[in-house]
């Protein structure tokens, strides 16, 4: 599907910029920007393909590497300008999340993976690069914090699997899931929706002196 490929490229570019921005804010050098941009953009899909015993997708389509390098160059040359449009990048990131979820689920189903595996591979494709980025940058991965991100991918993967098994054509199932995951992510950003956290206070630190 041409439209899905275009969304895939758009999401790759947005993910690459997010990785390069993270590296710049961590005061990394140009090499660090390149590494975090590429890892963020293609890391999840690469892990998926390796675990499925397939050739990594970017080895047959170098546009993903070029887009990652382009994202790095944009941050390196226009850091202040790119930072101003970070809200727009969040929209692109949301589109990428939805697209990567569908691609991950589709690749897993083509390989004959069952429901649970399909969901796991879809989530890995969608959030794996971001997790690698945060770990390399020394941060707690965003998916482990109070934010609807991985949950959106998980729900999207489930919906895609059921739609395909109910006989819905991929030409309809794929864009439907991309749109729904994207909207869920954007709503979470707009209204700061997230899962509850377990607040544990150190009573010894807050106990008044005797």
pLDDT in tens, 149-180: 899 999 999 999 999 999 999 989 999 999 99
Lowest-confidence pick of 5-19, 83-97, 125-139 = 83-97
Domain ranges in the chain are: 2-192
What is the SS3 assignment for 202? coil
Query: Residue for token digits 């389509």?
Result: 61
CA pair distance 160, 104, nearest whole angstrom: 11
Lowest-confidence pick of 1-5, 27-31, 32-36, 160-164 = 1-5
Total length of the chain: 210
Q: What is the pTM of this model?
A: 0.89
| Torsion sign, CA atoms 53, 61, 59, 98 | negative
Model pLDDT for residues 111-150, shown as the tens digit of each residue: 999 999 999 999 999 999 999 999 999 998 888 876 788 9
CA pair distance 58, 9, nearest whole angstrom: 11
Contacts of 147 by beta carbon, 8 Å cutoff, 6+ apart: 188, 194
Q: Say what the pLDDT of residue 164 is.
A: 96
Lowest-confidence pick of 9-18, 121-130, 194-203 = 194-203
């Amino acid at each position: 599907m041409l439209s899905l490929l275009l969304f895939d490229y758009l999401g790759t570019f947005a993910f690459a910029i997010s990785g390069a921005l993270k590296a710049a804010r961590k005061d990394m050098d140009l090499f660090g920007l390149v590494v975090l941009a590429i890892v963020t953009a293609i890391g999840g899909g690469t892990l998926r393909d390796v675990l499925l015993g397939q050739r990594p997708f970017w080895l047959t389509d170098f546009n993903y590497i070029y887009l990652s390098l382009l994202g790095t160059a944009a941050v390196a040359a226009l850091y202040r300008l790119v930072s101003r449009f970070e809200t727009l990048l969040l929209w692109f990131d949301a589109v990428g999340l939805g697209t990567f979820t569908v691609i991950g689920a589709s690749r897993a189903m083509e390989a004959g993976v069952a429901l649970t595996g399909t969901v796991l591979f879809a989530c890995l494709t969608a959030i794996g690069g971001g997790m690698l980025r945060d770990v390399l940058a020394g941060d707690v991965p965003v998916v482990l914090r109070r934010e609807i991100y991985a949950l959106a991918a998980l729900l999207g993967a489930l919906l895609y699997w059921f739609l395909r098994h109910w006989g819905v054509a991929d030409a309809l199932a794929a864009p439907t899931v991309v749109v729904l995951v994207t909207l869920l992510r954007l709503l979470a950003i707009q209204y700061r929706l997230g899962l509850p956290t377990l607040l544990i206070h150190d009573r010894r630190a807050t106990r008044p002196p005797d």
